[in-house]
Structure 1
Amino acid sequence: MLRADELRVVFKPKSKNPVVALSGLTFGVSAGKVTGLVGLDGAGKTTCLRLAAGLLIPQAGSLHVFGDDIVRDADQIRPRIGYMPQQFGLYEDLTVQENLDLYADLHGVPMRERSSQFARLLDMTDLGKFTDRRSGQLSGGMKQKLGLACCLVKVPELLILDEPTVGVDPVSRRDIWRIVYQLVDETGLGVLLSTAYLDEAERCDDIIVMHKGSKLAEGAPKSFYPQVDGRVFSIAPQGTQTARMLHGDLLKRDDVIDASILSGMVRVVLTADSPLLQQSNSENEGSGIRLTPVAPRFEDVFVDMLLQGDDGIERVTLNSSSDQSAVEYQPSNEASVITVSGLVKKFGTFTAVHDISFSVQRGEIFGLLGANGAGKTTTFRMLCGLLNASGGDIFVAGNNMRKTPSKARSRIGYMAQKFSLYQQLSVLQNLRFYGNAYGLRKDRLEERLNWALREFEMEDRKAVVTQSLPAGYKQRLAMAAAMLHEPEILFLDEPTSGADPLARREFWARISKFAREGVTIIVTTHFMEEAEYCDHMLIMAQGQELAAGTPAQIRAQAVSAELPDPTIEDAFITLAGKQ
């Protein structure tokens, strides 16, 4: 269906610093199959998809779709392709039905076919009850499903999706994948997509791993597993040790390639020459480590492949000079840093948040989770003092946020979902601006600027214009700006949405480190695997509490004969289904 041979794309080819987006890329896409592109930020995934959609022209190589040349025959090819970019062009002032009508007009769908096609799409996306709602009032997951429906008003032969599930909750992610495979089964279309979720890569028939514009590897998901056979294990915390403490300790080991928290355990990928592999479990227990072999997954291979490659990607160790003097802080039963009681928020007659109560101790990581539209972002903004509550009480760092929010703000760090960075300023200029905004002056400002550059490993990029930074470094810079004034409490709103797997790992390693030093962290996230790093969490649904507790307590609510060892994502989907 699609064949790419030796594709090369260079942006700004005549400048001093040309950007090679694709170099010698060769791959194919078959009908009736889902082909996934995975890779770090800047790997060339979006460029590849835009070429396939006929929106870019390669400088070298060839690309044939349905046997036709994408450059010479683009006008013949485009009507047979459905393309959904990361920022799909919904018209937010139009209703769901009006958006469908508009895209049907653009695709020339005959009037006699529209009624049945619309009914089918609305049924597939569960949007039938919302046809009169403006798209701007839909939740993030509903917008993604509407965008997909608009791409499908004229059934394509090739469907191209650029990270279609970024920023949506697990239930909506599952729905989008259900729609994709229903279409594949019913029509036999081919699908080419990119994804930031490596568990989604497991759903693909074929995976193409991209790195720096080239193909690193290709194959069915299970074909990658032998690369890490005998090197993937689960390790349980010992005694009073938490999974997050164990995770932090394991990251300091040179023989640990990857470490992640899953179901209260730490999953590791070890080097082939790891001392832990050479010794028996009884010998390893002296260091508090007992290895339990677990089945590989594609994510293990992906991280192993990139971190052990020859391209200079470094594993996060967080052994900066500031880390050497860090004091390990243990959350205690002292007075709560944040106390929320009977919180209510109304917008006119609509109640967005109803009777929410919880507390957070110093040094804890507290997660606010929920489906799109559940009310978690509204709750989050009230905690930060960015939105006034309609009822209830909020105390942050001893200050009543309904009466004196300004007193708490100097003790709060805030990292917005859309990073609040000045794109035309350099890294150092952004940090200096935020330092001044937080009231830092002279020697104290210089001390904190040096700390930020060192802690977030940006000393060699301090003069780089922010706009040209890779996404992972923008994320580092946004967090560095939020931590400049040494806040007691750090608020993180969807901090890893759209970030690649290694950037997410690096980010959470830093978050855990700050929590160990006594910083209290409140985070919203759609990545349920990240919820495992939280000490406690609150899952919201329709503005109310759906579940609350530790990760273990949340998982326990989803245990069944069919699911004896659920993950947080399993629990989330189970609980959401009981609403």
Structure 2
Amino acid sequence: MSEADASVVIEGLRKRFEAPDGKPFDAIDDISLTVRAGELTAFVGPDGAGKTTLMRMMAGLLRPDDGSLQVLGIDVRADPQAVQNRISYMPQRFGLYEDLSVQENLDLYADLHGVPQEVRRERFGRMLEMTDMARFTDRPAGKLSGGMKQKLGLACTLVRSPDLLLLDEPSVGVDPLSRRDLWKILDQLIADEQLSVIVSTAYMDEAERCAQIFVLNRGKVLADDAPDTLREKADGLTYVADALPDAPARTLQARLIDAPDRIVDAVPKGGDVHFIRRPECEEAALGDLLSGTRFEPREAKLEDAFMLLLREHEGEAASGNDMATADLPPSGEKEAGRSGNDQEAPAIVVRDLVRKFGDFTAVASTSFDVRRGEIFGLLGPNGAGKTTTFRMLCGLLPATSGHLEVAGLDLRTARAKARGRIGYVSQKFALYGNLSVRENLEFFAGAYGLRGAHARERVKAVIAQFTLDQAAQSGILPVGYKQRLAMAAGLLHEPDILFLDEPTSGIDPLARRAFWRTITSLAQAGVTVIVTTHFMEEAEYCDRIAIQDAGEMLALGTPAEVRAQAGETASDMNEAFIAIVEQGRARHTDKKAAA
């Protein structure tokens, strides 16, 4: 390939940082690659793979320590400004000015990039049309939903027409409908402007849209090819198995990932379990793991190849069970909360729950129960009211009206006492970055009222349970490690109910498997888990899920029941979610038209 056909050419690139212990490490470790021009290219890899470091070097924001880096034919080390004049870069935390309106943010970024006045009208109009935000130009950015903020960030990034667009995980924390809208915008830009786009992503369905995929881990490039070619690496190793009788699919999934000598990966999907056999393991050796349940080969997916590559590079069978907290029950044994405990009082009771902010109704007359030991998923688009519902369940926000009972306690009269029975892990992990892992845990132990020998015992127990380095400084830990620490802090006081608010946002598939293995163990031990998530694959781990939009309940039931409600066109949970939300919005539009 000639340099004229390439947007990025890298030879022997290296970037070195200093670790917390003072030892240097290579975040980018002697890599060479070429990114073709005029295409959509993906960087995928787990936390700490080097994706963001690589993008920041390509954007001229970090100086390489060794090697050659050319972007659009320009030596980035010699002239970073020349590169920045021709590219647009959207980092994970794009800097919108929340007190400014949508239009004022666009104007500000146009000023910063020196976009001529005569160009702005056409460019703004195009960006507002593509993002469907022309109706919201006067709205402050801080009042937008998460998905709308991402679309505005993309519009601000594109106030000028770049030769190369760099997007660092643009859909983190965004619901499936907003993700779909973002990718429609990107597809249109590539088609209309022949734009070269490089995107880092934790979503394999997004990577599958790309012409070229680079798989990274620990600063190395593990593979580079088209999606279909990469997928072939897992051919002949992928299967689907029926769930165990009278048990959720996650029970078999946990059993499989706890056998890393034979299994690369396993996930619940559509009520079944999809898994990958290790190449050196014979198919006949799977029988005892599957306990006689039916299994058969299935077509390999890109995520199968991705997980296979990562496991091989890690040099160990698996890390998915590092966070396991309890032994699995024997085959067929029912989990807590699924049968014998179903007659007990529910862990959570919600009746006619309403929350208003002035004239705006964020949650409208919502009712449901959550059984003890159940994993309950609360899903919805950005701005749907699920976070408001979640905060009321945690006792962090009072209800306007209705009845809300948690752990047998009425939150109107015993909110403080109820909080002592629950654990909470927020999306942004409320950790103190300047404190060590142990210091964080000791602080949270005190906040939960643990004292003396009991506090020391619980801190020691969760450090071992989550395989934590007690001396590590929290602020510089990888995101997946911070998630483990936040989980440990939330479980210090051994709560009856654990609330998890988008805990896997921005987390790679390896860390998500480890997280859900822990949740399975907690549920088996009788802990009730309430989780919000934008990863629809994670709804498959739940016993039941609720889907909200515009403050109203659109669906409530098991994953199978929700898929059935969505209709025959919904082949998976992602499609079911989109179908149910769009059906609900269509009904709402029809009602308004009739009125």
In structure 2, relative to structure 1, the CA distance for the partners of 1:423 and 1:310 (3 Å cut) is closer
Q: Which residue of 2 aligns with 1:502?
A: 510
Task: Map 1:374-413 onto structure 2 (within 5 A).
Answer: 374-413=384-423
Deviations 1:332-366, CA, capped at 9 Å, x for gaps: 23221100011111111111111111100000011
1:135 paired to 2:154: no
1:305 paired to 2:293: no
Q: Which residue of 2 aligns with 1:454?
A: 464
Q: Which residue of 1 aligns with 2:356?
A: 346
Is residue 170–residue 526 contact of structure 1 (8 Å, CA) maintained in 2? Answer: yes
Q: Which residue of 1 aligns with 2:374?
A: 364
Q: Unpaired segments of 5 or more residues in structure 2? A: 1-6, 586-595
* One-letter amino acid matched to 2:555: A
Query: In 2, distance between residues paired with 1:285 and 1:310?
Result: 24
Of residues 523, 526, 533, the one that matches 1:525 is 533
* One-letter amino acid matched to 1:370: G
Q: Residue 390 of structure 2 aligns to a residue in which SS?
A: helix
* One-letter amino acid matched to 2:258: K
Once the 2 structures are TM-superposed, how far is the Cα of residue 154 of structure 1 from its aligned partner?
0.7
Query: In 2, distance between residues paired with 1:154 and 1:321?
Result: 51
Q: Which residue of 1 aligns with 2:13?
A: 7
Task: Map 1:225-236 onto structure 2 (within 5 A).
Answer: 225-236=231-242
Is residue 369–residue 538 contact of structure 1 (8 Å, CA) maintained in 2? Answer: yes
Is residue 370–residue 376 contact of structure 2 (8 Å, CA) maintained in 1? Answer: yes
1:566 paired to 2:576: no
Is residue 198–residue 501 contact of structure 1 (8 Å, CA) maintained in 2? Answer: no
Query: In 1, distance between residues paired with 2:325 and 2:183?
Result: 45
1:513 paired to 2:513: no
Q: Which residue of 2 aligns with 1:288?
A: 292
1:26 paired to 2:36: no
Is residue 336–residue 374 contact of structure 2 (8 Å, CA) maintained in 1? Answer: no
1:490 paired to 2:489: no
Query: In 2, distance between residues paired with 1:238 and 1:423?
Result: 43
Q: Residue 516 of structure 2 aligns to a residue in which SS?
A: helix
Q: Which residue of 1 aligns with 2:276?
A: 269
* One-letter amino acid matched to 2:63: I
Of residues 73, 77, 80, the one that matches 1:67 is 73
* One-letter amino acid matched to 1:477: L
Query: In 2, distance between residues paired with 1:370 and 1:465?
Result: 35
Query: In 2, distance between residues paired with 1:13 and 1:341?
Result: 51
* One-letter amino acid matched to 2:299: A
Once the 2 structures are TM-superposed, how far is the Cα of residue 117 of structure 1 from its aligned partner?
1.5
Of residues 428, 433, 453, the one that matches 1:418 is 428
Q: Which residue of 2 aligns with 1:156?
A: 162
Query: In 2, distance between residues paired with 1:132 and 1:319?
Result: 47
Query: In 1, distance between residues paired with 2:317 and 2:485?
Result: 19
* One-letter amino acid matched to 1:388: P
Is residue 529–residue 568 contact of structure 1 (8 Å, CA) maintained in 2? Answer: yes
Which stretch shifts more, 4-13 or 34-43?
4-13
Which stretch shifts more, 36-45 or 314-323?
314-323
Of residues 215, 222, 227, the one that matches 1:216 is 222
In structure 2, relative to structure 1, the CA distance for the partners of 1:302 and 1:404 (3 Å cut) is same
Q: Which residue of 1 aligns with 2:59?
A: 53
Q: Residue 108 of structure 2 aligns to a residue in which SS?
A: helix
* One-letter amino acid matched to 1:255: R
Query: In 2, distance between residues paired with 1:342 and 1:37?
Result: 46
Q: Residue 346 of structure 2 aligns to a residue in which SS?
A: coil
Query: In 2, distance between residues paired with 1:367 and 1:524?
Result: 6
In structure 2, relative to structure 1, the CA distance for the partners of 1:549 and 1:470 (3 Å cut) is same
Q: Unpaired segments of 5 or more residues in structure 1? A: none
Provide TM-score, normalisation by structure 1.
0.95
Query: In 1, distance between residues paired with 2:388 and 2:19?
Result: 45
Query: In 1, distance between residues paired with 2:477 and 2:85?
Result: 36
Once the 2 structures are TM-superposed, how far is the Cα of residue 15 of structure 1 from its aligned partner?
8.9
Which stretch shifts more, 251-260 or 143-152?
251-260
Once the 2 structures are TM-superposed, how far is the Cα of residue 13 of structure 1 from its aligned partner?
9.6
Q: Residue 175 of structure 1 aligns to a residue in which SS?
A: helix
In structure 2, relative to structure 1, the CA distance for the partners of 1:72 and 1:537 (3 Å cut) is same
Query: In 2, distance between residues paired with 1:364 and 1:455?
Result: 22
Query: In 1, distance between residues paired with 2:162 and 2:317?
Result: 39
Q: Residue 148 of structure 2 aligns to a residue in which SS?
A: helix
Q: How many positions carry a matched residue from both structures?
A: 571
Q: Residue 159 of structure 1 aligns to a residue in which SS?
A: strand
* One-letter amino acid matched to 2:418: A
Q: Residue 91 of structure 1 aligns to a residue in which SS?
A: coil
Once the 2 structures are TM-superposed, how far is the Cα of residue 329 of structure 1 from its aligned partner?
2.2
Query: In 2, distance between residues paired with 1:286 and 1:423?
Result: 43
Query: In 2, distance between residues paired with 1:172 and 1:127?
Result: 13
In structure 2, relative to structure 1, the CA distance for the partners of 1:324 and 1:549 (3 Å cut) is closer
Query: In 2, distance between residues paired with 1:412 and 1:393?
Result: 18
In structure 2, relative to structure 1, the CA distance for the partners of 1:322 and 1:175 (3 Å cut) is closer
RMSD: 2.1
Query: In 1, distance between residues paired with 2:432 and 2:439?
Result: 9
Query: In 2, distance between residues paired with 1:322 and 1:249?
Result: 11
Is residue 131–residue 152 contact of structure 2 (8 Å, CA) maintained in 1? Answer: yes
Task: Map 1:471-482 onto structure 2 (within 5 A).
Answer: 471-482=479-490
Query: In 2, distance between residues paired with 1:185 and 1:286?
Result: 47
Query: In 2, distance between residues paired with 1:325 and 1:285?
Result: 13
1:106 paired to 2:112: yes
Once the 2 structures are TM-superposed, how far is the Cα of residue 425 of structure 1 from its aligned partner?
1.5
Q: Residue 431 of structure 1 aligns to a residue in which SS?
A: helix
Once the 2 structures are TM-superposed, how far is the Cα of residue 330 of structure 1 from its aligned partner?
4.0
Provide TM-score, normalisation by structure 2.
0.92
Query: In 1, distance between residues paired with 2:447 and 2:83?
Result: 53
In structure 2, relative to structure 1, the CA distance for the partners of 1:520 and 1:16 (3 Å cut) is closer
Once the 2 structures are TM-superposed, how far is the Cα of residue 256 of structure 1 from its aligned partner?
1.4
Is residue 243–residue 252 contact of structure 2 (8 Å, CA) maintained in 1? Answer: yes
Query: In 2, distance between residues paired with 1:338 and 1:524?
Result: 16
Once the 2 structures are TM-superposed, how far is the Cα of residue 165 of structure 1 from its aligned partner?
0.3
Of residues 75, 80, 103, the one that matches 1:97 is 103
In structure 2, relative to structure 1, the CA distance for the partners of 1:86 and 1:154 (3 Å cut) is same
Of residues 8, 21, 36, the one that matches 2:42 is 36
Deviations 1:165-187, CA, capped at 9 Å, x for gaps: 00000001111111111100111
Is residue 29–residue 190 contact of structure 1 (8 Å, CA) maintained in 2? Answer: no
Once the 2 structures are TM-superposed, how far is the Cα of residue 395 of structure 1 from its aligned partner?
0.3
Is residue 539–residue 545 contact of structure 1 (8 Å, CA) maintained in 2? Answer: yes
Which stretch shifts more, 440-449 or 397-406?
440-449
* One-letter amino acid matched to 2:567: V
1:469 paired to 2:477: yes
Of residues 244, 256, 263, the one that matches 1:256 is 263
Query: In 2, distance between residues paired with 1:317 and 1:345?
Result: 40
Query: In 1, distance between residues paired with 2:385 and 2:514?
Result: 28
* One-letter amino acid matched to 2:277: L
Once the 2 structures are TM-superposed, how far is the Cα of residue 43 of structure 1 from its aligned partner?
1.1
Is residue 43–residue 210 contact of structure 1 (8 Å, CA) maintained in 2? Answer: yes
In structure 2, relative to structure 1, the CA distance for the partners of 1:72 and 1:252 (3 Å cut) is closer
Query: In 1, distance between residues paired with 2:157 and 2:290?
Result: 58
* One-letter amino acid matched to 1:539: I
Q: Residue 495 of structure 1 aligns to a residue in which SS?
A: coil
Is residue 341–residue 357 contact of structure 1 (8 Å, CA) maintained in 2? Answer: yes
